[in-house]
Amino acid sequence: MTLIDAFNPELDLALERVVPTPRRLVWKAWTDPDTLVKWFCPRPWEAVHCEIDLWPGGKFATVMRSPEGIEVTGTHCYLLVEPDSRLVWTSALTVGFRPHAQPTSDTDFVFTADLTFAEEAGGTRYRAHVMHASAKARQRHEDMGFHDGWNTAFDQLVEAMAGQV
């Protein structure tokens, strides 16, 4: 297991839940582009495109569309891929660990997400540890609705995977 810095409440946000969805389906929801677009952003927003190249240094890219038609693109780099149990990706880098250009608007910010999936009581314990470079960036992400947004999206993941074997 690769170590990640311990949770720092000044810089980090976290979400942890246990859901009745098998771990392999939670993994599929995060790693299959056709599945990810069904749940990735809270409605009424929608994910309209996803690219996944699942290896350390590989691409994780999404395009989200607002109800008004505004598209937000995110291109990230996988840092760690542990099948069925852990994904670590960052918005600080793009494919091949190449650094992104500096953010161009005050809505852009850098973070690293450490996602873990563990089997528990017929379901999955899901944990998202999202690390920011500054307290200001952490606060901006929280103010954008991190907890409500990520929880709503995860509810949509559970809904999208319901009934799959």
User: For 64-73, what is each residue's pLDDT tens digit?
Assistant: 999 999 999 9
Given a cut of 70, is residue 2 above it in pLDDT?
no
The number of folded domains in the chain is: 1
pTM for this structure? 0.90
**69 found inside a domain:** yes
- What pLDDT, on a 0 to 100 scale, did the predictor assign at position 163? 80
**119 found inside a domain:** yes
> Mean pLDDT throughout 106-129?
88
Given a cut of 70, is residue 102 above it in pLDDT?
no
Q: Please, what is the Cα angle at 19 between 18 and 25, to 5 degrees? A: 120
Query: 35: domain range?
Result: 14-161
Query: pLDDT tens digits, residue range 19-62?
Result: 999 999 999 999 999 999 999 999 999 999 999 999 999 999 99
Spell out the residues 6+ positions from residue 87 whose beta carbon is closer than 8 angstroms to its own: 30, 31, 78, 80, 81, 113, 114, 115
- What pLDDT, on a 0 to 100 scale, did the predictor assign at position 121? 87
Position 107 confidence tier, pLDDT thresholds 50, 70, 90: very low
> Mean pLDDT throughout 91-101?
87
- What pLDDT, on a 0 to 100 scale, did the predictor assign at position 106? 45
> What's the mean per-residue pLDDT of the chain?
91
- CA 31 to CA 19: how far, in whole Å? 18
Domain CATH code at residue 52: 3.30.530.20
